[in-house]
Amino acid sequence: GAGVSQSPRYKVAKRGQDVALRCDPISGHVSLFWYQQALGQGPEFLTYFQNEAQLDKSGLPSDRFFAERPEGSVSTLKIQRTQQEDSAVYLCASSYQGRDTQYFGPGTRLTVL
Binding residues for another protein, rule: CB under 8 A, are 4, 31, 33, 35, 40-45, 48, 50, 55-56, 59, 91, 93, 95, 97-107
Output the smallest distance, CB 6 to another protein, in A: 9
Q: By C-beta, is 18 or 44 nearer to another protein? A: 44
Q: How far apart are CA 92 and CA 33, in angstroms?
A: 6
Output the smallest distance, CB 71 to another protein, in A: 20
Output the smallest distance, CB 51 to another protein, in A: 12
Q: How far apart are CA 34 and CA 55, in angstroms?
A: 12
The DSSP call for residue 85 is: G
Q: By C-beta, is 66 or 96 nearer to another protein? A: 96
Q: How far apart are CA 45 and CA 27, in angstroms?
A: 22
